[in-house]
A and B are shown apart, each in its own frame.
Chain A
Amino acid sequence: MHPDLTLRIAGESGEGVITIGETLCQIAAREGLHIVTFRTFPAEIKGGACMIQVRLSEKNISYHGERVDFLVCLNQEALGENLPDLKDHGVLLCEAECDLPEELLGRTVYKVPFDRIATREIGSRISKNIVVLGTLSHILSLPKRQIEGFITEKFARKGKAVLDHNLDALQRGFDFAERNLGKKDPYKFPKGNEQKMLLMTGNQAIALGATASGMRYFFGYPITPASEIMEWLAVHLPKLGGIVLQTEDEISAICSVAGASWAGGRSMTSTSGPGLSLMSETIGLLSMAEIPAVIVDSQRGGPSTGMPTKTEQSDLFLALYGSHGDATRVVMAPTSVPDCFRVTALAFDLAEKYQLPVIVLVDQALSARLETVEPRLVKRAPLASRLTAKLREDAPFARYQLGESDVSPVALPGTVGGEHMVTGMEHDEKGNFACDEEMHTAMTVKRFRKLSAIEGDPLTHELCSYFGDKEAEIGIISWGSSAGPVEEAVSIAKNLGIPVQAIIPKILNPLPHQELKTFLGKVKRVIVPELNFVGQLASLLRSTYRIPTISLTKVKGVPLEPTEIVKKIVETAETLNVRSMKHYGRAG
């Protein structure tokens, strides 16, 4: 019995690789298993290598697994590329035509003529992936009836002929395995607790979180890897009376958001780095004019066009500082798919309550990954709203009133007696332009005071994840989707006898000072793993807390691997003489 199984299906784009992975996920989610996936996208529109990795577990997991237990390769190229990631005792299922390298001698390999079965027996090359599913269902003892049900759901609307074709493909794949392959490996599809899980991508969780938080106006411009957010909302938001508009560019998108938000609607846009660069000027306007907005940036390899289909965490500086002048904004970073829902929903509450832009940073890997989510985690209502003014007939409304309160109330356009100006110029309390030195100071302080208030707001409490041993001298601070590999690395290090503790702040501006200061007070070394070259979070931590950091960076377009972090932990442990450490054997 293997409660934790990592599978990878690799082939060429167009071979239906992703469908195999997603079908396994669907079945597992209905079984109540926890799932985290990772998939690569070819840079080409058609063709190119692609793979999906699926990790299934009975327990809650936060990482897609480093090396795989079970590898499925649909062609020779896929085999060459992916074999190094197969565990020593792992199993290979591959196309019968593939030449096997010598290193596979003595290991469990199943060869199946998928191409021949699909083209000769079924007469349809595109049904190959369903043949693979049939074979897998036999080898891994998958609930075949469920697969049939799933295929019926997927193909029924394409007509009986197509459906029958695919059911036939499933059966033939299954039969081939039954007749020709004796079960030679210990792997089985894990059993779930039958509590049904929801299955969604990070992008879908963002769209859902926004919708649950009352967002009804979405403006955006297509960009990889964020487009899925807009595409999902385009189908579903109008059902709730909302609108989605594809604009002519990202500047128009964020400006339309600014207008819709000023008029009172909860509004958002989503983009990737190039779009966030274009939006920078308007972020300053939102800050200056004190208008709420939520901007999601699904980061990809940069700078410039960079690597659109690869992951990176290199927009932190842009999110924190992009725009001229002292421009206030909140920056948040969810770590998992359920977190994408939670953090995005919270982003709207903070934007509305404090009247400023909130940037939510995710990355390609998190945007595209399928993960199970407990149904209770995606139920939510707005927790805060914009403060509206009580208008008085005897005094004109002052939109930017200076005073005791951290936020000044708004009068939404249309309100009788609330006519006023909002502006990107420095202004007085009534919104009229004012360049005098006192006013600029007072208004800048007003805008920045909101950040201190956010830090103290109970809404932003519990926005840090903690892993590991609370007494450990080695600390890790990381962010976003790197949290998953960090969590795994901490537990691998523990098995090696090296105590480590980690903190993952999900709000990066304002930083959760209390939590971070407490953490920094306990540890002797701070490792900062992140997916960028210069160590952007490490730099922020050094300048904020005047501490030395051990920066662990990676720019390969793929997530950090736990063993890369463990290596740094071991090096750090050596400098500290952590005595409980017995040996430094290869982890995992």
Chain B
Amino acid sequence: MEEQDRSCEYLSGVSPVWCPGCGYYGILSALVEGLADLKLPTNELALISGIGCSSRLPYFVKAYGFHSIHGRGLPIAQGVKTANPELTVLAVGGDGDGLAIGGGHLPHIARNNVDMTYLLFNNAIYGMTKGQFSPTTVLFPTTKTSPFGFLGDAVNPSALAIVYGASFVARGFSVKKEHLKDLIIQGIQHRGFSFIEVLASCSSFNTTDMNVARIIKNLQMVPEDHNPENGIEAMRLATDKEKINLGVFVRSQRPTLGDRFQEVQKKAKGKASAAMEDLLAQFA
């Protein structure tokens, strides 16, 4: 007998504000189905976001949600996981939020290996402010703020996450819901910082870069024999000019920030925990 679909229990009941045809509906759907598959208690889920269309997602999910400010979802998530390691911490945000205004945080959260999952919704445009270019805009010839073409080249989010040392890096596509759901489950289950780039089309302002037909035509699954500890090969797959590779590029194990905090506490305490009075002794 097939198990009942419990993904609805992970929806808050607040209706998404996204445009009709927005790729983000597919991501929301993959996320709640993944959470249902993992049977994660909603009270143990912390969902943190920055600002932008994608960052509205926490309102639509039943969880402890934190809709913060532009670009700052990652450090907030780092604080949440630090103070309560029991929580499953997820951060969501867009390409502008995570790679432009908030781009300075990603290397550090990645190298700290905070035990959390970060979904970067990549639609290659600023949708909420209605059509300015983002750090990942490539093909779309002009935008409202680049009317005569681009002034800079685009970045590749997965490639950045790989060089920053994220211990889990994957790329999914909003249209490939089952595959994306599987990536999200793997990301949450991975102990450490999981970075998942999700390609999604903006139906209102950039249907070129994430054109569904083009992506479907060019996509290719990461080969089953790819060794996710091989960073060079991971980089080759992530930056492939011919094909859009989807799947897990990197998976490696190393101590998380939480593990390191525990080590520090152990070293600092030596044989016994100190009390306030012990700290005062050095001032006598």
Q: List the interface of chain A (C-beta within 8 A of B).
A: 29-30, 196, 198-200, 204, 208, 211-212, 217, 219, 235-236, 238-241, 243, 245, 247-249, 251-253, 255-265, 267, 281-282, 284-285, 289, 373, 375, 378-379, 412-425, 431-433
Most chain B C-beta atoms within 10 Å of own C-beta, residue among A235, A412, A423: A423
Given A240-B274, A413-B64, A414-B87: A432 and B82 interface contact (C-beta under 8 Å): no
Q: Is the CB of B268 within 8 A of A235?
A: yes
Indicate if B151 sits at the interface (CB-CB under 8 A): no
Q: Is the CB of A249 within 8 A of B104?
A: yes
Indicate if B133 sits at the interface (CB-CB under 8 A): no
Nearest A residue to B111, CB-CB:
A248
Q: Is the CB of B62 within 8 A of A424?
A: no
Give B127 Cβ to nearest chain A Cβ, in Å.
17
Which chain A residues border B63 with CB–CB below 8 Å?
Answer: 419
Given contacts A239-B278, A243-B264, A419-B62, 5 further A-B contacts (CB under 8 A): A219-B79, A238-B268, A252-B75, A378-B280, A419-B12
Given A211-B279, A262-B80, A282-B72: A413 and B87 interface contact (C-beta under 8 Å): yes
Nearest B residue to A240, CB-CB:
B274
Q: Which of B69, B82, B267 contacts A424 (CB 8 A)?
A: B69
Q: Is the CB of B69 within 8 A of A281?
A: yes
Given A255-B72, A259-B78, A425-B67: A211 and B276 interface contact (C-beta under 8 Å): yes
Q: Is the CB of B274 within 8 A of A247?
A: no
Q: Is the CB of A239 within 8 A of B279?
A: yes
Indicate if B58 sits at the interface (CB-CB under 8 A): yes
Give B9 Cβ to nearest chain A Cβ, in Å.
11
Which chain A residues border B253 with CB–CB below 8 Å?
Answer: none
Indicate if B145 sits at the interface (CB-CB under 8 A): no
Q: Is the CB of A256 within 8 A of B273?
A: no
Inter-chain CA distance A289–B80, complex, in Å, is: 15
Nearest B residue to A266, CB-CB:
B83
Q: Is the CB of A245 within 8 A of B82?
A: yes
Q: Which of B76, B269, B278 contacts A259 (CB 8 A)?
A: B76
Which chain B residues border A240 with CB–CB below 8 Å?
Answer: 273-276, 279
Nearest A residue to B108, CB-CB:
A248
Give A233 Cβ to nearest chain B Cβ, in Å.
10
Indicate if B19 sits at the interface (CB-CB under 8 A): no
Q: Is the CB of B274 within 8 A of A239?
A: yes
Interface string of B234-253 (1 = CB under 8 A from A): 00000000000000000000
Give A164 Cβ to nearest chain B Cβ, in Å.
25
Given A252-B108, A255-B76: A419 and B64 interface contact (C-beta under 8 Å): yes
**Which positions 59-87 of chain B face chain A at CB distance < 8 Å?**
59, 62-69, 72, 75-84, 86-87
Which chain A residues border B276 with CB–CB below 8 Å?
Answer: 211-212, 240, 379
Q: Is the CB of B76 within 8 A of A258?
A: yes
Number of chain B residues whose Cβ lies closer than 8 Å to a Cβ of chain A: 51
Most chain A C-beta atoms within 10 Å of own C-beta, residue among B67, B77, B257: B67
Inter-chain CA distance A504–B118, complex, in Å, is: 48
Q: Is the CB of A421 within 8 A of B59?
A: yes
Which chain B residues border A204 with CB–CB below 8 Å?
Answer: 283
Nearest B residue to A244, CB-CB:
B264
Q: Is the CB of B82 within 8 A of A285?
A: no
Which chain A residues border B72 with CB–CB below 8 Å?
Answer: 251-252, 255, 282, 285
Q: Is the CB of A265 within 8 A of B62?
A: no
Most chain B C-beta atoms within 10 Å of own C-beta, residue among A199, A252, A255, A414: A255
Q: Chain B contact residues: over half helix, strand or loop, or mixed?
A: helix
**Chain A to chain B: the 8 pairs with minimum beta-carbon distance, closest first:** A259-B79, A265-B83, A238-B268, A256-B79, A255-B75, A260-B79, A260-B83, A239-B274
Give A40 Cβ to nearest chain B Cβ, in Å.
23
Inter-chain CA distance A375–B277, complex, in Å, is: 10
Give A251 Cβ to nearest chain B Cβ, in Å.
7
Q: Which of B81, B267, B274 contacts A236 (CB 8 A)?
A: B274
Q: Is the CB of A421 within 8 A of B76?
A: no
Inter-chain CA distance A211–B105, complex, in Å, is: 28
Give A102 Cβ to nearest chain B Cβ, in Å.
45
Give B32 Cβ to nearest chain A Cβ, in Å.
14
Which chain B residues border A259 with CB–CB below 8 Å?
Answer: 48, 66, 75-83
Which chain B residues border A238 with CB–CB below 8 Å?
Answer: 261, 264-265, 267-269
Q: Is the CB of B58 within 8 A of A421?
A: yes
Which chain A residues border B279 with CB–CB below 8 Å?
Answer: 208, 211, 236, 239-240
Q: Is the CB of A256 within 8 A of B75?
A: yes
Which chain A residues border B7 with CB–CB below 8 Å?
Answer: none
Inter-chain CA distance A355–B280, complex, in Å, is: 30
Contact stretch, chosen from B38-46, B168-176, B200-208, B218-226 = B38-46
Which chain A residues border B84 with CB–CB below 8 Å?
Answer: 263-265, 412-414
Indicate if B14 sits at the interface (CB-CB under 8 A): yes
Q: Is the CB of A261 within 8 A of B273?
A: no
Which chain B residues border A258 with CB–CB below 8 Å?
Answer: 68, 76, 79
Which chain A residues border B83 with CB–CB below 8 Å?
Answer: 217, 259-261, 263-265, 267
Q: Is the CB of A420 within 8 A of B65?
A: yes
Inter-chain CA distance A282–B12, complex, in Å, is: 26
Most chain A C-beta atoms within 10 Å of own C-beta, residue among B42, B62, B64, B83: B83
Indicate if B284 sits at the interface (CB-CB under 8 A): yes
Q: Is the CB of A252 within 8 A of B105?
A: yes
Most chain B C-beta atoms within 10 Å of own C-beta, residue among A236, A245, A281: A245
Q: Which of B43, B87, B269 contacts A417 (CB 8 A)?
A: B43
Give B90 Cβ to nearest chain A Cβ, in Å.
12
Which chain B residues border A264 with CB–CB below 8 Å?
Answer: 83-84
Give A429 Cβ to nearest chain B Cβ, in Å.
14
Which chain A residues border B75 with CB–CB below 8 Å?
Answer: 247, 251-253, 255-256, 259
Which chain B residues border A415 with CB–CB below 8 Å?
Answer: 43
Which chain A residues border B48 with CB–CB below 8 Å?
Answer: 259
Inter-chain CA distance A425–B128, complex, in Å, is: 14
Which chain B residues border A199 with CB–CB below 8 Å?
Answer: 283
Q: Which of A196, A282, A412 contacts B69 (CB 8 A)?
A: A282
Which chain B residues border A198 with CB–CB below 8 Å?
Answer: 280, 283-284
Which chain A residues border B82 with CB–CB below 8 Å?
Answer: 217, 243, 245, 256, 259-260, 263, 265
Q: Is the CB of B66 within 8 A of A262?
A: yes
| 8 residue pairs from A and B, CB less than 8 Å apart | A240-B276, A252-B104, A259-B48, A259-B75, A282-B72, A285-B68, A423-B66, A431-B65
Inter-chain CA distance A310–B276, complex, in Å, is: 32
Q: Is the CB of B69 within 8 A of A285?
A: yes
Which chain B residues border A260 with CB–CB below 8 Å?
Answer: 79-80, 82-83
**Which positions 1-46 of chain B face chain A at CB distance < 8 Å?**
12, 14, 41-44, 46
